[in-house]
Copies of this chain bind each other. A is one copy, B any other.
Amino acid sequence: MAKRIIVDAFGGDHAPDEILKGCRMAADELGVQIVLSGREEKIKEAASRVGVDIQGFEILDCPDVITMEDEPTDIMRAKKNSSMAVGLRALAEGKGDAFASAGNSGALVVGSTLIVKRIKGIKRVAFAPLMPKSEGFFMLADGGANNECRPEMLEQFGLMGSVYMQKVMGLQNPRVGLANVGTEEHKGGELQHEAYKLLSARRDLHFIGNIEARDVPYDAADVVVCDGFTGNIMLKMYEGVAMALMDKFKAVFKKNLKNKLAAAVVLNDMKALKKQLDYNEYGGAPILGCAKPVFKVHGSAKANTLKNAIALTVKYAESNIIDEIRAAAEHKEDE
């Protein structure tokens, strides 16, 4: 049966226009049923303006929108009638198989935890983006949901990331590494020491030990485990350095006529490289540990990125990841 994907019509920089276009593409190409959350009147107005046929889309009418300026916790009170909160409640109540939003990440983490709830036995959800490495992608868990973590949380991030990379991304035996300041076992602080022990002891994942940040953009691991503070720093440092360097290259290519001519020669190869480095290709980040599939779509997502994200969300919903995580967490608790 076609999966019902609830989509936040008002999340992200290009909502609702690009969201509607992306949903149309997803319905047509992936055969999913789309449930939109957001103000019905505005959705219809936008659909007619941009010429998107929303026939067959269900709409959960609601008055509010969570903005990037809102506090994450506003989703529970001031913005409990926002498109994000209403979408999450619909997911919790079984009105859809998964929820995708390009809105405020912090609010989505809070809403996932408090409205949809965590998988039994899971201590914290992780915001787990996919990022480019020398070949393919790695998952960062946690990329920013939890500033302060205990070792057991890092253990669970490793477990959840490993299951996701297998079941959704199709990787066999994903390598799980612990982000640290050196590769030796004794490196880092107490959090890393204890997490190292816990991760090493798990038979159900392929823990490869500590990895250094320097090796992450190469092929250090398929799942990079860390607390959310460190993960957020890594994620943003990655983006910042890549953008700054690209800017420098652009400046060289625009410097004078001969450089511009040279740039024209390599243009297509540079575009291919940019695409390879563009993590929009993978649409976003699952909120791992949530009891139902919630997917954070990039804030800058346009129609095609949203469609890619919905495709992953469908895979997430079709897989038995959540059951598997629950079983692994329970098994551990029974020990």
Contact = CB atoms under 8 A, between A and B. Distances in A.
A65 to B, nearest CB: 20
A313 interface: no
A interface: dominant SS: helix
A73 to B, nearest CB: 11
Interface residues of A, number: 53
Given A188-B147, A259-B265, A266-B252, A232 B213 contact: yes
Interface string A271-283: 0010011000000
A144 B188 CA distance: 10
Given A233-B234, A252-B273, A273-B252, A240 B213 contact: yes
Given A237-B216, A238-B237, A273 B248 contact: yes
Interface string A224-237: 00001110111111
Nearest to A274: B248
Contacts of A259: 265-266, 269
Given A134-B244, A233-B234, A245-B245, 6 more contacts: A181-B228, A212-B236, A214-B243, A217-B244, A233-B233, A261-B262
